[in-house]
Amino acid sequence: MPANGLHLLPMASSHRGGLSEACVQCSEGKKMVLFVTGLCRFRCFYCPVSSRRNQIDATYANERLVTCDADVLDEARSIGAAGTGITGGDPLGMIDRTEHYVRLLKEEFGPSHHIHLYTHEPNAEKLQRLARAGLDEFRLHIPHYLWGPLAADGGAYRSVLTEAPSWGIRRGVEIPVLPEKEAELVRLLQALDEIGVDFVNLNELEFSETNEEKLHDRGYELDPSNGWGVRGSRAVAQRVVKESRLSIPVHYCSSRFKDSVQLRMRLHRRAERTRPPFAETTSDGTLVFGVVPAPPGRDVARWAERIARRYRLGPKSYRVDFGRRRLELGAERLRRLAPTLGAPAFAVEEYPTADALEVEREPLNREAFAGFTAGGT
């Protein structure tokens, strides 16, 4: 409940003043994440981009590798996206590609499809280009060594943030909270208040597989009571939001909010739209169903047809995944069939995402494993 202008959100997140429309859509799982490129010239020591994507020039729509425009549009439809967040790497480093996607999404889904973008580059010319293409909002990532009054070297950031309203676009600042820089952060917020930016988003600094070593080298520690959060980051952010007497909206987004709320909601939306009728959705938004891998060397279609006939499987009660060479059906049904199947069977839990990441695999008939050969069922 709002208390003295302070709004508390789940997972220790909070805000003072209104939330950006992009943040609202994100918390409801309605934003597609369009990762335009892994390339970025800034190389922040805390960069969380995964090693699979970091400094690699590939585009992903959520977890889907993009090979053509249809991949982007299909992924947006698969979560019923109301908007898109463009990220990277630095999307301004690939300005032609970024502008192309802004235009593509607006043409396909109309002007109400809300698009926001993250960048480290205070480049007025590129941002104006994107504003003309239909970009609704940008969030500047101001480097920590420029936090403070945004004078001298911070001047380029100040001028972009000052000029942006005349380009017809909303502008905010989004930065991770480095716990030892509280004084500089408070001074920066005062400068942003003077400019009158539309909002400031503070993210919890967190460990990831890619930044772990660098964060440890700089003396940061894990907060043992707080997932992957860096000790002190949450406390500083919460204090700043609680005590700030600014006229601009300030929002603190915790790392657990991103995982437990934003991601979970997006998984549920994708599961609702894409899951096969025989799969069950868990409270985390993952899918549970049964799988029977095809024996090596067998024609998958004919093998699956034989099983379907033998066990009288109706057309909606199973499907064949030709890419992964396997038959899929309801987990409970397979549990009942498994003892007579003569081939290994599993109940699996997977993300309902394009990469279908497997979380867990439970064998249903261990006795079938020993005797299973290429000549099985």
Which chain residues interact with ligand SF4 by CB under 6 A?
Answer: 40, 42-44, 47, 49, 88-90, 120, 141
Provide, rounded to whole angstroms, the least separation between the CB of residue 87 and ligand SF4: 8
Q: Which is nearer to ligand SF4, 48 or 376 (CB)?
A: 48
Provide, rounded to whole angstroms, the least separation between the CB of residue 179 and ligand SF4: 17
Provide, rounded to whole angstroms, the least separation between the CB of residue 12 and ligand SF4: 22
Q: Which is nearer to ligand SF4, 141 or 266 (CB)?
A: 141
Where do the H-state alpha helices sit in the chain? 21-27, 69-78, 95-109, 124-133, 155-163, 182-195, 212-217, 233-243, 255-257, 264-274, 300-310, 331-341, 367-371
Provide, rounded to whole angstroms, the least separation between the CB of residue 15 and ligand SF4: 22
Q: Taking Cα atoms as reference points, which of 341, 345, 337, 336 lies closest to residue 366? A: 345
Q: Which is nearer to ligand SF4, 44 or 235 (CB)?
A: 44
Q: Which is nearer to ligand SF4, 16 or 141 (CB)?
A: 141
DSSP letter string, 324-356? TTEEEE-HHHHHHHHHHHSS--EEEEE-SSTT-
DSSP letter string, 91-107? GGGGHHHHHHHHHHHHH
Q: Which is nearer to ligand SF4, 141 or 319 (CB)?
A: 141
Q: What are the structure tokens assigned to 296, written together?
A: 């090596």
Q: Taking Cα atoms as reference points, which of 137, 74, 62, 141 lies closest to residue 102? A: 137
Amino acid letter for position 326: R
Measured distance CA(272)–CA(301) in Å, rounded: 27
Provide, rounded to whole angstroms, the least separation between the CB of residue 284 and ligand SF4: 27
Provide, rounded to whole angstroms, the least separation between the CB of residue 124 and ligand SF4: 18
Q: Taking Cα atoms as reference points, which of 366, 270, 290, 376 lies closest to residue 333? A: 290
Q: Which is nearer to ligand SF4, 217 or 299 (CB)?
A: 217
